[in-house]
A and B are shown apart, each in its own frame.
Chain A
């Protein structure tokens, strides 16, 4: 390896070379002057590679790709200020599922590329890092994947940030608790992923379940990366709860489902998510998915708009890519964004922000509005879903239910 001296001159010369090189490197990608307005440029930093690619590519990506295509096929978004329709142009960067890269690329989009709009990064912790940035530069940010009680507390200080996804106490678990108690569930065992998502869901369940008389008889955290969950499933089985909740990601919920079958653990209600809400859950487990409960926000049967959206997103595509929880909410978020631009008649972020914050919109969910930065829970067209006869039905709240909850769930199929 390295041998030989390193003289002062070499050192100095090296400094020169380095300094010049660095300065040159950083100067090179100079911003190009903005051309006359003939399109709306939307920038995104997405996890196209790395561990989060799994989430991002099945959650928001199919939605925004379909949305952009639909809008552009219709000529674009009409902006009064320019007196014409402007098509959307997407500028997508790969953040490698790394927060440091994501924050840098977000700043690049805002400062260097001067995009007209910012669309969200993927994942709750990424939103936490991106939201203050968007707010600082005065960019409206309507989030997609991710949402948490913690962000609810932050939103008053982030006027430019709007959260679309429903989450634990907004308003899933209270509905779940009601449904379960109505059917007579008395005990629950909770396994949760050791991160913000799991902590919040288990925490909220710890409040909501006892309220309706469901006792929590087991609570275990699962570290991410852990492969073998059988000790947890065995313990849950030994505890013999009415309800088993697995508040974790597909990497845990899928093996937990398989293990429940293998170990013949069949509680009266098996709740898991995010994961159960995806089409791939049903295509993987087939008839065994029957009766499994997850989170949701709509069902195509609910309205013509819902059916139209399902057709747009899923026709001619494998069932695996379906996501009845996230997709409709992300879509509604994009619809709100488009309508707000049309109402504002300009691309002015502050104007658009005020419109989103105060007005009401017609989206796939029906009348849609934001409350304190969160998509109002009154706009949700469902919270809890269940696989019934191969369909992911909304079972709660009652107002939106497309099917009656199956309780107890049928036994796992044999063979």
Chain B
């Protein structure tokens, strides 16, 4: 009886082994179909449309480089590209500077796991209000007669209102940093929370002071969190158009704003060119960030 069972099992085994990879591949099918229909195909379409011929009111499928040449010779478009890159870099640095200490506190100095979760949820609270209300709430705060200027003037720190606070690049940066900071805090706090406290104690025991330990142990071990956070923030900031439209009074034009305007005036080919440029920029940024840390090794 038992001999037969053994024989059966050994015969069954190769069959099972052959079948399993094929079966497992079916699990990918829904994702692959969905993504090719609604992501890959539209993107290829966008690349294709960017070479179409654009006239004032119509667009024809005659291939031409005209839209591309216009984009790269126009000061407006190149300026928007440069503004996008500049604001992205500033917001990225600002979110790290504001987010890292917060994450350090939550992930490393708060020992209670429940309290850790509560504090992380606190970071998400800004998202409980709608985007529009949140952005509009900045106006009475930053405006010429807004709260910050009133306080500064009443305290006698400034004589005249600081006009650069609202409808400027600064207000866009302030608003974006506030909104996207949480995407930086989360991944960093997660990585810091995973550092074994005995590792830090070991470094202490070997004679290192706090800043030494921070530079040689804590920072390197939390880098994957910084990179993941940076990818989140970068992808969102590079694609932004709403915050800049609402807080800059249309003075700051990002690539996203260009695309919205072009689509609004039916300039599909231009919009497609800007879209392709933006996508390539995002791809390059993500690829560069992934080179900083080998995420496969760390996570």
Do A and B come from the same complex? Answer: no
Residues of chain B touching chain A, judged by Cβ–Cβ distance below 8 Å, are none
List residues of chain A with CB under 8 Å of any chain B CB: none
